[in-house]
Structure formats: C-alpha cells, structure tokens
Amino acid sequence: MKAAAMILCFLLASGIGGAASAAARAGAKSDAPVRLKFAAFNRHDVDAIEHIYASDATLRSPDYPALTGNAQIADTYRKIFDSIPDAQDNIETIESSPDHVYAQFVLTGHFHGAQDQPVHVRIISVYSVKNGCIIDDATYYDRKMPSTPAQH
C-alpha cells in the first residue's frame, strides 16, 4: 500500500498524472461534436448536422467520393433520411484523442419504411475535429454485407 501511495505521489509531483488528466479532458472535449452529430442524426435534424460539420469539411465513404462542404454533406444525410425514414445510429463505442474521434456504431431502419426491408449495417467512422466542428469524416463499412443481422 505504501508503494502505491509513493507512486501516486511521484506521478502527481512529476505532472504525469496531470498530463493524463489533461489528455482525457481533451479527448472528451473533441468527441462533443461527434456526439452532437449522432444525436442530430437520430432526430433527423439535417440543419444541426450541417452546422456540426465545418463549412469546408470532407466526408468519405464507400458509396461516394469525397464530399466537400457542410451543405453537400447535409444533403447526403437528407437523402439517407428520405431512403430510410426510421434511420437510427446506435453507438457501440467512442474513443477519442485531442484531434480524432473513433466511433463504432450500427445503422438500423427500414428502406422506404417497409418492414420487410430492414437495414442493419455495422460502421466505423474516424472523425477529425477542430474548433468544435467536424472537419473530416472517413466512414467505413462493407457494402456487400447483408442488411439483416446474422442469425445465431
């Protein structure tokens, strides 16, 4: 027990513990716009999504080349909501560093609202964040993956 107390005192005195806390705070701060983006997505709030992305942001995914600008990105989300009117992103994990956020999530819903056309896609996105906005979004998923979850 004394050894643990001595190590803690050393870490605090040397600033290492403070550096770790600062890094954790910076990571938490950088994931705020990403969390807001997921909340806006689940509300289907395209205007909020547009303002979460920087005006010169880029978005890349398997379905289209790089999109540039928050208006073009917002239009893509509008098309998603038109195609999948009950679309929801269910976050599984979010990890962050001061400038990047890594999110794993599952997109669920139904194509054109049809109950017999379910959507279930596992996705990972890597976001770059600066000044409280998403400046880059690299999204990855398997386009050939079946839309329904595998039965076990």
pLDDT tens per residue across span 41-85: 999 999 999 999 999 999 999 987 789 999 999 999 999 999 999
pTM of the predicted model as reported, rounded to 2 decimal places: 0.78
> How many percent of the chain have pLDDT more than 70?
76
Q: Where are the domains of the chain?
A: 31-140
* SS3 letters across the chain: CHHHHHHHHHHHHHCHHHHHHHHHHHHHHHCHHHHHHHHHHHHCCHHHHHHHEEEEEEEEECCEEEEECHHHHHHHHHHHHHHCCCCEEEEEEEEECCCEEEEEEEEEEEHHHCCCCEEEEEEEEEEEEECCEEEEEEEECCCCCCCCCCCC
Class of domain 31-140: alpha beta
What is the average per-residue pLDDT within 26-45? Answer: 88
pLDDT of residue 56: 98
Least confident of 4-8, 105-109, 111-115, 128-132: 4-8
pLDDT at 37 over 60: yes
